[in-house]
Structure 1
């Protein structure tokens, strides 16, 4: 069984001894924070779920540098994928892409139906084990009839925008060149991954000459010199957005309203937005921040993505921005479904797997049903 390369863009940066000491010393208060969180916060949840949410709020809520956060949270996506494969007895199937990106297949490679997933993590964290638990749930639901490919993209701040969008274009082009029909591809993402899906949609509607352009199936990979417009004979199968990050600001009331409820405290939200803004240039601003676009920007979206599902949590800081983006999308895509989970937090659908409660929520049922209909299973 081949091992994935470890030179992808989500490779851990070097850490000093000081970073390690500071991070480890701060963890001494974690048990107390979790105990308080279980009894004071997240009413109506199981103790395991409340403990997990409290631990995330503690780890993200203290003033930390980006390096310290990565030290506390990050194992590379390639490492997690290899660990999942060993545990599951599955083959490691990794397709290398340009500029250090890779596609990790969960289950067999397929050309008939593919779910391309772009993971979240504020563009600074790699994938989490919860993603692979979710993918296994999907494979169980669909009896292996769907190919699931997770994009391993480069992370900020070491790799600023628009590198992640470039790598996403390469991933989609790779699937097309393998013979997958656009109508049989669902492009999905959570949080930053949802933002990346919308960046791709912007590039499809408004091809920017500084970025690679998608073409119909080609015998050779797409290159930077490609400047033609997208001319697929058919649209993609659909777009799935789970708690998508649509604006790099905290101007909406839901950030204040949910500041003690969501898993991402205000301090962490400020840090994340400051990091991603570093890579935004005036010429690409509209491509990279989908919630801040001029009127008419999304005209024609329904011809590219005729089906859209957006999920979010009632108690997440992003919910007002998500609903605002959902309204814009619904104007262009008649078949748009929006589900706000009562009492849900950011990425509730995925985060539930961390406490062994995946597959239980109404959001899971809606996503599974929507994917089944979109892929004609």
Structure 2
């Protein structure tokens, strides 16, 4: 399960109220000065205001407060299923993880979603994406969303263990063929996909992480705005800090929540791995598509990672979208954007083409 709602102390509740008031105040002030934002801000006035508010909020609130006011992934799935008239189908996995299905678990082709959110937010808008793709792909395709534990209640490598546990369940217990499985992850979810691939290439030294092997490569992997490095020092963290909805302070904080006292390695921060680490990846996944926005604070890290990965995987499909910010595919519904972005259109068509 993603998280269990906990109660806040009186002080934490007052602090949360203060954070909300500060966020509203920042939004109002930004709205008044938005015509004067210049080229450093987001080109769309609405998003400039919303992104400013989100930065203020996420700078202020703790993970505990986030998980207090957020519906869990499990709750969001049940609400989504009810809204669509679907019978909820969930599978309990190792380490308290849960797999939530859209479509029949007996389907031949499987779309696996690892959600983002800095390892502190639950899944929210991912179910709609899976539903749309599954309906277009047909009855022989099913989507499954992993509900993993959130940080800092559980820290690395717990979430990676849960992700690997899901893949082991699909392949070894359900008999799904790797070539019929497509992995899709956004931000922290893309980080987990790269951790799974690293585990296939170099079994993790932590003996508590279950082994995983594939006789044939996965059908494909789609990395949406991958979070590859928790050390936010690249130039884009400065140049894009007033355009994106996250900043280096927020990402560093979330990274600490996830990592705890664990050392940095290629399993948790794939951007630190060398080209040699990824050699042999073509035997683990057939093709990979990666997308990122040119206005992301993570952009320089993402571009550097793509260049490293491409040395071992020359067929890597990389698409950078100018004017787009972090995880726009899943953030646009959150901010009320009705028109699909260029990245959203490409990702959906790319996933369908790989199924």
Same-fold status (TM-score > 0.5):
yes
1:138 alignment partner in structure 2: 133
1:359 is displaced (CA, Å) by 6.1
Change in Cα spacing, 1:46 to 1:14, as seen in structure 2 (3 Å) is same
Write the distance in 2 (CA, Å) between the matches of 1:36 and 1:90.
43
1:116 is displaced (CA, Å) by 0.6
1:367 alignment partner in structure 2: 347
1:163 is displaced (CA, Å) by 0.9
1:157/1:275 contact within 8 Å kept: yes
SS across alignment from 1:103:
strand
Change in Cα spacing, 1:138 to 1:37, as seen in structure 2 (3 Å) is farther
2:224/2:327 contact within 8 Å kept: yes
1:356 is displaced (CA, Å) by 4.0
Q: Does 1:300 align with 2:280?
A: yes
Change in Cα spacing, 1:356 to 1:141, as seen in structure 2 (3 Å) is farther
The one of 226, 242, 248 equivalent to 1:260 is 242
Write the distance in 1 (CA, Å) between the matches of 2:325 and 2:302.
13
Write the distance in 2 (CA, Å) between the matches of 1:175 and 1:30.
43
With 136-145 and 272-281 compared, the bigger mean Cα shift is at 136-145
1:306/1:335 contact within 8 Å kept: no
Write the distance in 2 (CA, Å) between the matches of 1:277 and 1:212.
20
The one of 70, 73, 79 equivalent to 2:75 is 79
2:42/2:242 contact within 8 Å kept: no
1:67 is displaced (CA, Å) by 2.1
1:111/1:147 contact within 8 Å kept: yes
Change in Cα spacing, 1:358 to 1:194, as seen in structure 2 (3 Å) is farther
Q: Does 1:278 align with 2:271?
A: no
The one of 270, 280, 283 equivalent to 1:290 is 270
The one of 9, 18, 29 equivalent to 1:16 is 9
CA RMSD of aligned residues (A): 2.1
Q: Deviations over 1:116-162 (max 9, x none)?
A: 1111111122112x212222332343345521100011111111111
1:349 is displaced (CA, Å) by 1.4
1:85 is displaced (CA, Å) by 1.1
Q: Does 1:168 align with 2:168?
A: no
For structure 1, which runs of at least 5 residues remain unmatched after alignment? 1-7, 215-229
2:58 alignment partner in structure 1: 60
For structure 2, which runs of at least 5 residues remain unmatched after alignment? none
Q: Deviations over 1:227-257 (max 9, x none)?
A: xxx3x33110111111111011012111011
SS across alignment from 1:339:
strand
2:5/2:67 contact within 8 Å kept: yes
Q: Does 1:186 align with 2:185?
A: no
SS across alignment from 2:278:
coil
2:23/2:54 contact within 8 Å kept: no
Report the count of equivalent residues: 346
Write the distance in 2 (CA, Å) between the matches of 1:294 and 1:321.
14
Write the distance in 2 (CA, Å) between the matches of 1:200 and 1:154.
16
1:224 alignment partner in structure 2: none
Write the distance in 2 (CA, Å) between the matches of 1:70 and 1:166.
21
Q: Does 1:90 align with 2:86?
A: yes
Write the distance in 2 (CA, Å) between the matches of 1:368 and 1:45.
24
Q: Normalising by the residue count of structure 2, what TM-score does the alignment of the two structures yield? A: 0.91
1:157 alignment partner in structure 2: 152
